[in-house]
């Protein structure tokens, strides 16, 4: 996405640009905005229209919104070749909510921050692959905070927004889009229960851990080296030694993983090393010649180096699992009147059904 803009429809003079992000971009032309408006007029039953001008490399998504008797529309600007169909076709209500929230903040001092947050959230929404997306649940402070809150059991959207705002100081302008990322990865479900609307239930928790690489034997298939047997022996010895002493439940293990993954070059390196070994030179190139990071990966036993060849020693994998531990917490929350009986029973029923359906395997390694 290149730009996001809020447009006001002046009944006398037509479309007027109110605010856009990034701010340094030229304003959208009035002629273009009139064409977008005309498409809204032709599709009055649709809140959102998709406009691609002839002989243009741009695509414009516009969401119309009425507020206090006035008409606005939020325009998202993309390259015509950008892949944005997922967010448009699958989650149009989310864009409508973002549009509504932004327009309600137009005359406040929160609008500048809100529009920049909306721009970055929408722009990055579909850019990440599965592992990068899972990593984002830990790296993104508001996502990780929401995940921790959800681990306490069922919560309504209104209460979640209140906790995020008052206890953590987070803006909740994009809460719908953020929660949709949880739904898309099957971490939560949204339901209404008697007496409560827009309730969110954690159905899969997420963690990150270190596992032995799959198909270790293939790492050495194409090695033609006089010391090959010695290299294999040392590698396997290091592998067994590490996992004999590894406790994945220790908090500092997750911290070590996430600290290293904060460098964007580490995950691509891990993915490459899952397939084959690399030379020290190629490894350093992947790490942007960061020798300090290379040495840290060696010291922390993520990689193994011998005779100028680098191997993956401990893989980094994300694990989704059914959070059966929540059932005990739900009892306490109900007894302390933090949740209603209907909320309590609904979450217990959801979790028990999942546990019955997955008697053999209750987790997924990504």
Per domain, the residue ranges of the chain are: 3-123, 130-204+323-365, 207-319
Q: Which long-range contacts (CB under 8 A, 24 or more apart) does 16-19 make?
A: 18/72, 18/106, 19/106, 19/111, 19/112, 19/115
Average pLDDT over residues 209-230: 89
Token pair in block for residue 12: 């006398």
Q: Each residue of 62-78: pLDDT tens digit?
A: 999 888 889 999 999 98
Q: In 84-159, where do the E strands start and end?
A: 155-156
Task: State the pLDDT at residue 91.
Answer: 60
Using pLDDT thresholds of 50, 70 and 90, give the confidence band for residue 181: confident
Highest mean pLDDT among 82-96, 168-182, 206-220: 206-220
Helix (H, G, I), strand (E, B) or coil at 233: helix
Helix, strand, coil percentages in the chain from 3-state DSSP, rounded to 5: 45, 20, 30
Note the pLDDT of residue 290.
Answer: 96
What's the confidence (pLDDT) of residue 47? 84
pLDDT value for 151: 96
pLDDT at 128 over 70: no
Q: Are 271 and 317 in contact (CB under 8 A)?
A: no
Distance (Å, whole) CA 61 – CA 218: 48
Average pLDDT, integer, range 92-103 = 78
Where residue 133 falls among pLDDT bands split at 50, 70, 90?
A: confident
Whether the CB-CB separation of 171 and 214 falls below 8 Å is answered with: no
Res 247: pLDDT: 85
- Tell me: pLDDT of 360 over 80: no
- Could you give the maximum distance between any two Cα atoms of the chain, in Å? 84
Query: What integer pLDDT is reported at residue 116 of this predicted model?
Result: 87
Q: If you average pLDDT over residues 152-170, what whole number do you get?
A: 93
Q: What is the pLDDT of residue 204?
A: 96
Cβ pair 197, 147 in contact under 8 A: no
CATH of 207-319, one of 2.30.42, 1.10.760, 1.10.10, 3.40.50: 1.10.10
pLDDT one-digit tens code per residue, 304-342: 999 999 999 999 999 999 999 999 999 999 999 999 999
With a pLDDT cut of 90, the percent of the chain lying above it is: 57
Do 3-123 and 130-204+323-365 come out as alike in CATH topology?
Answer: no
Question: Whole-angstrom Cα distance, residue 54 to residue 84?
Answer: 19
Q: Percent of the chain beyond pLDDT 70?
A: 95
Number of neighbours of residue 157 by Cβ within 10 angstroms:
17
Residue 124 has pLDDT above 80, yes or no: no
Give bridge partners of residue 59 from the DSSP assignment: 78
Residues whose CB is less than 8 angstroms from the CB of residue 293 and which lie 6 or more positions away in sequence, other chains included: 260, 263, 265, 266, 287
| Distance (Å, whole) CA 151 – CA 2 | 36
Q: Is the pLDDT of residue 186 over 80?
A: yes
The pLDDT value given to residue 118: 82
- Whole-angstrom CA distances from 148 to 67, 172, 222, 297, 318 are 35, 16, 45, 28, 16
Edge to edge, the sheet with strand 205-211 lists 205-211, 315-321, 363-365
**Predicted local confidence at residue 265, as pLDDT:** 95
Q: What pLDDT score was predicted for residue 85?
A: 59
The pLDDT value given to residue 126: 58
Residue whose token pair is 């290293």: 260
Side-chain half-sphere of 316: how many Cα atoms within 13 Å?
27
Q: Which fold has domain 130-204+323-365?
A: Arc Repressor Mutant, subunit A (1.10.10)
Sign of CA pseudo-dihedral 344, 345, 348, 353: negative
Residue 16 has pLDDT above 70, yes or no: yes
Average pLDDT of span 214-235 = 89
Mean pLDDT, all residues of the chain: 89
Q: What is the pLDDT of residue 96?
A: 77
Q: Which CATH class is domain 3-123?
A: alpha beta
- Nearest 5°: phi and psi at 140? -75, 120
pLDDT confidence of residue 234: 95
């Amino acid at each position: 996405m290149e730009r996001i803009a809020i447009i006001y429809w002046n009944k006398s003079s037509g479309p007027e640009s109110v605010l856009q992000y990034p701010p340094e971009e030229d304003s959208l032309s009035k002629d273009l905005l009139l064409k977008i408006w005309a498409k809204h007029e032709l599709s009055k039953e649709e809140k959102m229209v998709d406009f691609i001008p002839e002989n243009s490399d741009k695509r414009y998504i516009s969401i119309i919104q009425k507020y206090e008797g006035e008409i606005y529309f939020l325009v998202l600007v993309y390259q015509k070749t950008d892949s944005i169909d997922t967010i448009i076709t699958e989650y149009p209500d989310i864009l409508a909510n973002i549009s509504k929230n932004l327009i309600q903040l137009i005359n406040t001092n929160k609008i500048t921050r809100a529009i920049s947050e909306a721009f970055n959230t929408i722009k990055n929404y579909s850019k990440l692959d599965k592992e990068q997306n899972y990593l984002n649940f830990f790296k993104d402070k508001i996502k990780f905070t929401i995940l921790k809150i959800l681990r306490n059991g069922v919560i309504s959207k209104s209460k979640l927004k209140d906790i995020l705002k008052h206890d953590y100081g987070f803006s909740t302008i994009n809460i719908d889009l953020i929660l949709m990322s949880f739904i898309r990865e099957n971490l939560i479900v949204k339901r209404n229960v008697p007496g409560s609307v827009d309730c969110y239930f954690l159905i899969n928790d997420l963690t990150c851990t270190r596992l032995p690489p799959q198909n270790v034997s293939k790492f050495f298939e194409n090695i033609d080296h006089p010391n090959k047997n010695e290299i294999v022996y040392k590698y396997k010895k290091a592998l067994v030694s590490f996992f004999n002493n590894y406790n994945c439940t220790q908090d500092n293990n997750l911290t070590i993983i996430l600290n290293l993954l904060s460098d964007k070059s580490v995950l691509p390196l891990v993915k490459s090393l899952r397939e084959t070994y690399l030379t020290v030179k190629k490894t350093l190139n992947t790490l942007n010649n960061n020798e300090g990071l290379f040495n840290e990966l060696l010291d922390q036993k993520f990689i193994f180096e011998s005779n100028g060849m680098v191997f993956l020693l401990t893989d980094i994998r994300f694990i989704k699992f059914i959070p059966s531990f929540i059932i005990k917490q739900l009892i306490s929350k109900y007894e302390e009147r933090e949740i209603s009986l209907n909320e309590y029973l609904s979450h217990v029923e959801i979790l028990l059904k999942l546990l019955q359906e997955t008697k053999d395997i209750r987790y997924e390694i990504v």
